[in-house]
Amino acid sequence: MVDMHGNSPKTLRQDLLAQRKQFVASARYDAARAALFSGLAEFLAESEAQIRSVALYCPIQSEIDVRPTLLDWADQSPERILCLPFARPDKHLDFYAWHRDDILIPSQHGVPEPDPNNFLRPQVIPDCILIPCVGWSQSSDVISTSAINHYWRLGYGGGYFDRTLAQLRKTKPDLICIGLGFDWQKLNDAQWQAQTHDEPLDGMLTESGLLG
């Protein structure tokens, strides 16, 4: 579906966002969304021993809304915690506990965020971060005879997640970061390549399942 050739990252993002809006309105979307939800539920079930807290997001610009699946997951145990990101002025993210009826505050970018001054919702360093992708790519390193795959996220260009992941991974090496998107959003090297400051994803979840 993505048909771009040598566009700038800004133009590429604009084209991908327009295509995502069209995709969400298409007849194919419901099946793809259901398959992604199923894959997410399976991932959470298989990772039960490692994951007690998950950072998710409030969807904007036709991003897939995984809140229902995550709320179902959290409802199954009082030990499970959901949290949402709060964008700091220095373009890093902090995460705060979130409950389904919490009042959120729009950020300067129009993204609903938790109130960092709400003493009932402490700051959380999540075990797993789910990150929506505008686009994504895959690269491979060959070590001995084995190929190691890496997955990369094209976001909105602010660099919030890259800075945050680089910092969190120093203090929490076992942090799991999973990108969320669809198969058609995959980009080849001619369209986009990850830069040195881009942080790799630990896996990429699409309607085809979890890659990683």
Q: Which residue ranges are tagged as binding site for substrate? A: 63
Q: What is the 3-state secondary structure (H, E, C) of 187-208?
A: CCCCCCCCCCCCCCECEEEECC
Question: 137-143, long-range: CB within 8 Å, 24+ apart, which pairs?
Answer: 137/186, 137/187, 137/188, 137/189, 137/192, 137/193, 137/194, 138/186, 138/204, 138/211, 139/194
Say how far apart CA 63 and CA 179 lie, in whole Å: 12
Q: Distance between CA 80 and CA 64 in Å, rounded?
A: 22
Tell me the C-alpha distance between 194 and 138, whole Å: 9
Query: In degrees to the nearest 10, what's the CA dihedral of 193, 13, 55, 69?
Result: -110
Q: Name residue 143's beta-bridge partners.
A: 146
Annotated binding site: 63
